[in-house]
């Protein structure tokens, strides 16, 4: 079987301990990821929220046509890299789901993907026009899958364009199960004053390779990312976050919080890339890991590339371990050991749920947490 | 009412070293006892052992609480019985806010869900008593707290969790004059309003001023070497531990 390398660390000089990228088996996607999409409309105040399933009504464009032209598509970029993009492009049957928020509009979309067999892909083009507010929820829930998801692989790509003053929030929730592998790619371009927020929760999942590339092209554009994960035995999470500061006074803030249980393997690449000319920009990355056991692999490659002098870059990290002293302190307050572990793990997820601030997402994630 | 806390001939060790030698001590319900002793005497060790720290192995003797033998019980079970230890060096708990932590602990202790509104109200009241800024409720427990703030947070937990017996391990050390006053007020409230029993480890008579002390114990080198009433606190305050140390070397 041929193998390919994806999720590269930008900056070629770094080559240590094989943390530059991850190698995966090369395979072809055979079908589209099946799922449901619904648009959520806020009706008159006080009347609650009405849902309309537009999946079959053609309200959503689903086809080979994207709302982006050729140039715009490639312009969005990819965090997972060319090898992954080629895999997707080779699949002629891959359809694109295009979501558009027109200028000044407020739009919320929810997408739900359960059942998967074999290798399936999902391509999403999100276009947020001037001064709109667009929120997109994507749930990848193996637990609700009706059929076995063994040997299933999924390739997901979101291409995002945020025009002047647009605000776009993409929330992705991955509730892992039997699915063999998830490749999740986000590439975004932001114009002046545009804001992108990417919030992700990863609970379990055998092998997840996920990346976000935010190209802060417009002046004062900003990118925030809140990520939480909780992984355990034989589970692997490979993250690649890249904030590319191109315009002046751009801002990026990436926060990753997670829990590693026995046998888990996590690698985080977090890059703040200051391109010459991006003066006045601020890029920050912060990581907080809780190690629940000794037997975990916890790798982090923070990278700040400085092509510009007048910038501010920061990297912070804290690693928490549960030791005897810590356990005793919490137990002395009446909390049993098992609860302590869950409380500490859930606290990480809770923080990101707080940022997402959405009832349905909270319910889904909490249900998965309770199930354990 | 049978005895409350009864420790008989307690011997404990850590890392092959015996730290407590046949310590016996009895506290009746509602009483306040003071434990004095020079640095390294084993005061904290005794507090930890009563609370059930796995760091110390009990090699002899028994601890009874309200008639039950708890010598082998885990710390969480002892807490459920109503034993509380205010730590000399409280641990930082990143990721858990003071508010969430207290609510979880209360729910575990009582086995009941607690209404958020009632909880918040009570938390606010207690924080006011301790002159703690409300913003501390949403901060991670003890993370980045100063020494004094950590001690206040221990007393906040004491008043919120409302145990039957509280062991206070140098809760007054490292506090400025005003903070000692505030903390004393908190302890007084626990003693008088909540009717709690106390074992206070201290080097400072100041914190005892407003409290009615029933009994004093002096611990030297892991042994109880003297016992008496509140007057013993004054005596040690004036004369130090010298005479007890002397006794040791004969
Ligand atoms: N875990 C431990 N392992 C080994 N020695 C310990 C441990 N804990 C305490 N000690 C020792 O036991 C003695 C008593 O300590 P401690 O109880 O902290 O004293 P105090 O609180 O009275 O100042 C000291 O000599 C200390 O070094
Ligand atoms: Mg001590």
The ranges assigned to domains in chain B are: 1-30+49-72+214-250, 82-211
* Distance between A250 CA and the closest CA of chain B, angstroms: 29
Determine the Cα–Cα distance for residues B61 and B44; give it in Å rounded to an integer: 18
CA distance between the termini of chain B: 41
Chain A residues whose CB is inside 8 A of the B96 CB are 343-344, 347
∠A3-A4-A7 over CA atoms, to 5°?
145
Chain-chain contact of B95 with A344 (C-beta, under 8 angstroms): yes
Q: Which among B34, B36, B40 is the best mutation to test ligand 1's pocket, defined by most ligand atoms within 8 Å of the CB?
A: B40
What sign does the CA torsion over B195, B196, B197, B198 have? negative
| Closest C-alpha among A154, A261, A132, A171 to residue A207 | A154
**The pair of three-digit structure tokens given for residue A260, joined into one six-digit string:** 């590693």
Q: Which ligand is nearest to the CA of B46?
A: 1
The residue whose C-alpha atom lies closest to atom 18 belonging to ligand 1 is B44
**The pair of three-digit structure tokens given for residue B20, joined into one six-digit string:** 């407590």
Chain-chain contact of B53 with A348 (C-beta, under 8 angstroms): no
> Where is pLDDT greater, at A192 or B1?
A192
Tell me the pLDDT band of A44, cut-offs 50, 70 and 90: very low
User: Which CATH homologous superfamily contains domain B82-211?
Assistant: P-loop containing nucleotide triphosphate hydrolases (3.40.50.300)
Beta bridge partners of A76: none
- Taking only the tens place, the pLDDT of each residue in A173-218 is 999 887 889 999 999 999 999 999 999 999 999 999 999 999 999 9
Tell me the pLDDT band of A117, cut-offs 50, 70 and 90: confident
* Structure confidence at residue A323 (pLDDT): 80
Chain-chain contact of B95 with A328 (C-beta, under 8 angstroms): no
* Structure confidence at residue B249 (pLDDT): 46
Q: Which residues line ligand 1 (CB under 6 A)?
A: B 14-15, 17, 19, 37, 39-45, 55
Element (H, E) at B39: none
- Taking only the tens place, the pLDDT of each residue in A266-325 is 999 999 999 999 999 999 999 999 998 889 999 999 999 999 999 999 999 988 778 888
> Of A35-44, A115-124, B195-204, which range is least confident?
A35-44
The residue whose C-alpha atom lies closest to atom 17 belonging to ligand 1 is B42
Counting atoms of ligand 1 from 1, which one is nearest the CA of B219? 22
The residue whose C-alpha atom lies closest to atom 3 belonging to ligand 1 is B14
> Of A52-61, B110-119, B145-154, which range is least confident?
A52-61
Residues 6+ apart with CB under 8 A from B244: B218, B220, B225, B226
| Closest C-alpha among A180, A242, A234, A255 to residue A215 | A242
Chain-chain contact of A328 with B79 (C-beta, under 8 angstroms): no
Tell me the pLDDT band of A61, cut-offs 50, 70 and 90: very low
Determine the Cα–Cα distance for residues B81 and B75; give it in Å rounded to an integer: 10
Span B7-27, average pLDDT = 97
> Where is pLDDT greater, at B250 or A156?
A156
Under 8 Å CB pairs connecting chains A and B tally to: 70
Q: What is the pTM of this model?
A: 0.79
Chain B residues whose CB is inside 8 A of the A333 CB are 79, 84, 101, 105, 108-109, 157, 161
* Structure confidence at residue A52 (pLDDT): 38
Q: Round the average pLDDT of chain A to a whole number and report it.
A: 87
> Where is pLDDT greater, at B174 or A126?
A126
Q: Which ligand is nearest to the CA of B89?
A: 2
Element (H, E) at B116: helix B116-129
Q: In sequence order, what DSSP letters do the residues of A150-178 get, joined into one string? A: TT-EEEEEEEEEE-TT-EEEEEEEEE-SS
- In which residue are the tokens 């004491």 written? B158
* Structure confidence at residue B246 (pLDDT): 62
pLDDT at A51 over 50: no
């Amino acid at each position: 079987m041929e193998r390919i390398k994806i999720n590269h660390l930008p900056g070629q000089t770094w080559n240590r301990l094989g943390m530059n990228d991850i190698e995966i088996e090369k395979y072809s996607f055979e079908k589209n990821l099946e799922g449901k999409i619904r648009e959520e409309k806020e009706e008159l105040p006080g009347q609650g929220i009405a849902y309309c399933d537009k999946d079959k009504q053609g309200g959503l464009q689903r086809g080979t046509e994207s709302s982006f032209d050729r140039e715009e598509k490639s312009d969005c970029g990819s965090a997972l890299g060319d090898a992954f993009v080629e895999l997707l492009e080779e699949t002629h049957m891959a359809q694109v789901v295009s979501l558009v928020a027109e200028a000044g509009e407020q739009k919320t979309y929810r997408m739900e993907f359960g059942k998967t067999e074999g290798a399936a892909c999902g391509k999403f083009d999100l276009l947020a026009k001037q001064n709109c507010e667009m929120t997109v929820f994507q749930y990848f829930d193996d637990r609700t899958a009706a059929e076995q998801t063994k040997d299933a692989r999924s390739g997901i790509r979101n291409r995002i364009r945020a025009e002047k003053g647009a605000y776009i929030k993409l929330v992705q929730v991955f509730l892992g199960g039997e699915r063999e592998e998830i490749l999740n790619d986000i590439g975004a371009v932001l114009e002046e004053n545009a804001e992108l927020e990417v919030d992700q929760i990863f609970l379990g999942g055998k092998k997840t390779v996920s990346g976000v590339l935010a190209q802060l092209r417009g002046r004062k554009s900003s990118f925030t990312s809140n990520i939480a994960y909780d992984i355990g035995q034989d589970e692997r999470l490979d993250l690649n976050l890249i904030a590319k500061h191109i315009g002046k006074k751009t801002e990026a803030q990436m926060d990753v919080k997670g829990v590693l249980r026995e046998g888990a393997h996590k690698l985080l690449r977090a890059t703040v890339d200051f391109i010459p000319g991006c003066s006045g920009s601020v890029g920050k990355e912060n990581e907080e890991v809780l190690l629940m056991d000794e037997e975990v692999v916890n790798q982090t490659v923070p990278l700040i590339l400085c092509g510009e002098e007048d910038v501010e870059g920061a990297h912070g990290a804290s690693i928490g371990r549960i030791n005897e002293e810590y356990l005793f302190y919490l137990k002395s307050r009446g909390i049993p050991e098992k609860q302590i572990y869950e409380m500490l793990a859930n606290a990480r997820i809770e923080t990101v749920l707080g940022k997402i601030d959405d009832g349905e997402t909270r319910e889904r994630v909490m249900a998965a947490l309770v199930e354990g | 009412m049978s005895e409350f806390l009864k420790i008989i001939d307690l011997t404990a060790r850590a890392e092959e070293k015996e730290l407590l030698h046949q310590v016996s001590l009895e506290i009746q319900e509602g009483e306040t006892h003071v434990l004095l002793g020079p640095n390294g005497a084993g005061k904290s060790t005794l507090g930890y052992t009563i609370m059930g720290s796995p760091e110390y192995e009990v090699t002899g003797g028994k601890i009874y609480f309200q008639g039950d033998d708890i010598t082998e019980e885990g710390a969480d079970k002892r807490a459920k019985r109503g034993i509380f230890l205010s730590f000399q060096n409280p641990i930082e708990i990143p990721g858990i806010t003071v508010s969430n932590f207290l609510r979880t602990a209360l729910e575990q202790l009582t086995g009941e869900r607690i209404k958020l509104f009632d909880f918040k109200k009570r938390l606010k009241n207690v924080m006011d008593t301790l002159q703690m800024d409300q913003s501390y409720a949403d901060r991670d427990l003890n993370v980045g707290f100063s020494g004094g703030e950590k001690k206040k947070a221990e007393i906040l937990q004491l008043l919120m969790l409302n145990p039957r017996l509280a062991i206070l391990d140098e809760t007054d050390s490292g506090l400025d004059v005003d903070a000692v006053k505030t903390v004393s007020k908190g302890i007084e409230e626990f003693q008088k309003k909540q009717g709690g029993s106390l074992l206070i480890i201290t080097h400072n008579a100041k914190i005892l001023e407003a409290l009615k002390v029933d009994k004093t114990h002096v611990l030297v080198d892991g042994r109880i070497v003297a016992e008496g009433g509140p007057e013993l606190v004054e005596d040690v305050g004036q004369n130090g531990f010298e005479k007890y140390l002397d006794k040791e070397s004969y």
